[in-house]
Structure 1
């Protein structure tokens, strides 16, 4: 098995994927209705795709190629509306969020697809525990070396992405004290974490060939890295976002990735180094555990910041590189940093503080996703 050739794409174009929860409207637990949803939506025209995920209580939607955040929102809105309409026909609901607050992993059913069965054979119970939900953002790159440079530059901002998207404070009925508990489940997989430090595609190909020769991996899909190249699309794929509670937040996060990419291309603000990764896992943990209230150690200067202030500073740096639609999205993220509501994890905790019933929290999250609240 050799690595696919990198297919060039238009620089800074976007693609967005969202993994979503399918819910019973009786008790707002998860329900294995993915086959029914896919059957209903088989002939519905949407901008991107609607596909199954590893368990039958999940579904994934994606956009086509997007030019900016507004384009991503428009495409996601069309698909979201089709999804909600189908769910209404089946008397179920759809929601975002990085985890379902009280589902029991052992009750989940693996979706009937060969790859998912292979994963179950390899990873055992971890496959069902992978009933978690993320947003992936693809950013277009003109060539393979540009993709690796983009990947390692973006790696400095992984804590930003985690804290801004965090929406998984509850697991199995408990408040985990993490804003993003979802990423703890991802870290259980042996091929998770960070990509190897390679800035030239020939070096990355050699790494891939060595890994393939061991029999451990067969394709890029076997790597669960926080960011990975996607050679068949000509993109870099950022994978650490929790699925937000709304498509508006999903589009804002995509806008941030695009603005960072434009800043890198226009100003070349820094060159990535292997030593950037000395504080990578620490910064990642801080964002997962404390969200926007975490701390951040700058890998270049070793100076410590509050994560909130570092995001605020970075938004100001990249704002001039965003288009009109992107600027509005970034301004909304800047307002989030100063608002009492905070990120989606804070919103979920606040709702629980009001109602003290996790099923009601999930119901309200479903209304939020469907733009009905």
Structure 2
């Protein structure tokens, strides 16, 4: 498996958008309409997805998170304008709050049909929508340093992006139920540690030679190394209905990747990472983070890291919009507002509106 270097700390974003009827707020199979009416500019960044009621907006590699988010924002705006004409809204939430999976159709595609044949009801329950972030690295050493540090700090990104407290018409009691749906797949969830491309390739070839995967795309871990792209890919985030928050989360990831360079990568317990991830899924920013030096609040760990990044001059070095980063990290993701509205008696149909980005 050959490593292909990237320009360090470049960023690419992939945002999954659900399409809901503007009257009923049910998922509506309008992806084909979006592709049909898309301008040439939108078509360049628009991808089909598993469901006929979703599309994906994918930025090219960009020099900054702000640049990548501007591309997403512009594309989302055009999808929204198409929706105004065609009777749907583009929604950015990790789950649809009340849709019934039995009523949803998948996109006609050989790969999707093959996956559905293999995973059956598990895949039919996949009414989930995420944000994926690629960050470029220049060397193999940087890739595996970034991979292991990101693996340790996955729960922080769960807590910063949570937008899926409802599923199939019920309040789940969690901030990010999307992850509990996704981890049902055999090659999803929290991966193990790897320290080299050779080590990763041995594991990958066992799966490939056994006929269970064709490419790295068939591995859906919360964080995925891409030696073939020269990127580290963060896949744990819910879709976020706030483009400033998307920028801040992407910047936080870029900073973490840069900070990890040259850091001694420790071995840590897989079960501890899973526990920390659960703490974030269940309690959001108030969840607890277990580390070798004790236990602290996830929100406190986020702010400790930002101070570390700043001390090392990384915000200036990467051209981070510090005002946006600090503003977003001092607030709460949309799951908090969704839960509060529900506790006040708001209907789930109205709560869907929290996924409309401006």
TM-score (norm 1): 0.90
Cα shift at 1:223: 0.9
Separation in structure 1 between the aligned mates of residue 192 and residue 346 of structure 2, nearest angstrom: 44
Which segment drifts farther, 53-62 or 324-333? 324-333
2:112 is aligned to 116
Separation in structure 2 between the aligned mates of residue 364 and residue 283 of structure 1, nearest angstrom: 27
Separation in structure 1 between the aligned mates of residue 144 and residue 44 of structure 2, nearest angstrom: 26
**After the TM superposition, which parts of structure 1 deviate over 4 Å for at least 4 consecutive aligned residues?**
none
Cα shift at 1:131: 1.7
Separation in structure 1 between the aligned mates of residue 314 and residue 184 of structure 2, nearest angstrom: 37
1:235 is aligned to 231
Separation in structure 2 between the aligned mates of residue 117 and residue 276 of structure 1, nearest angstrom: 36
2:335 is aligned to 345
Separation in structure 1 between the aligned mates of residue 43 and residue 133 of structure 2, nearest angstrom: 16
Write the deviation string for residues 150-208 of structure 1: whole angstroms up to 9, x where unpaired. Answer: 11111111010000100000111111010000000111001112334221212222221
Cα shift at 1:78: 1.4
2:290 is aligned to 297
1:184 is aligned to 180
Q: Counterpart of 1:20 in 2: which secondary structure?
A: strand
2:323 is aligned to 328
- Does the CA contact (< 8 Å) of 2:241 and 2:354 recur in 1? no
- Does the CA contact (< 8 Å) of 2:144 and 2:194 recur in 1? yes
Cα shift at 1:274: 2.9
Separation in structure 2 between the aligned mates of residue 167 and residue 28 of structure 1, nearest angstrom: 17
Asked if residue 24 in structure 1 is aligned to residue 14 in structure 2, the reply is no
Asked if residue 360 in structure 1 is aligned to residue 354 in structure 2, the reply is no
2:196 is aligned to 200
1:287 is aligned to 280
Write the deviation string for residues 80-112 of structure 1: whole angstroms up to 9, x where unpaired. Answer: 112112222211111101011101111110111
Write the deviation string for residues 326-358 of structure 1: whole angstroms up to 9, x where unpaired. Answer: 42232123321xxxxx22100112233455211
Mapping of 1:21-60 within 5 angstroms? 21-41=18-38, 43-46=39-42, 49-60=45-56
- Which residue of 292, 296, 308 maps to 2:299? 308
Separation in structure 2 between the aligned mates of residue 47 and residue 246 of structure 1, nearest angstrom: 22
Cα shift at 1:291: 0.5
Q: Counterpart of 2:47 in 1: which secondary structure?
A: strand
- Does the CA contact (< 8 Å) of 1:25 and 1:93 recur in 2? yes
Mapping of 1:255-274 within 5 angstroms? 255-265=251-261, 268=262, 270-274=263-267
Q: Give the gaps of 5 or more residues in structure 1.
A: 337-341
- Does the CA contact (< 8 Å) of 1:137 and 1:238 recur in 2? yes
Cα shift at 1:124: 0.6
Q: Counterpart of 2:153 in 1: which secondary structure?
A: helix
1:6 is aligned to 3
Separation in structure 2 between the aligned mates of residue 146 and residue 104 of structure 1, nearest angstrom: 43
Q: Give the gaps of 5 or more residues in structure 2.
A: none
Q: Counterpart of 1:98 in 2: which secondary structure?
A: coil
Separation in structure 1 between the aligned mates of residue 269 and residue 250 of structure 2, nearest angstrom: 23
- Which residue of 67, 74, 88 maps to 1:71? 67
Q: Counterpart of 1:322 in 2: which secondary structure?
A: helix
Cα shift at 1:143: 2.7
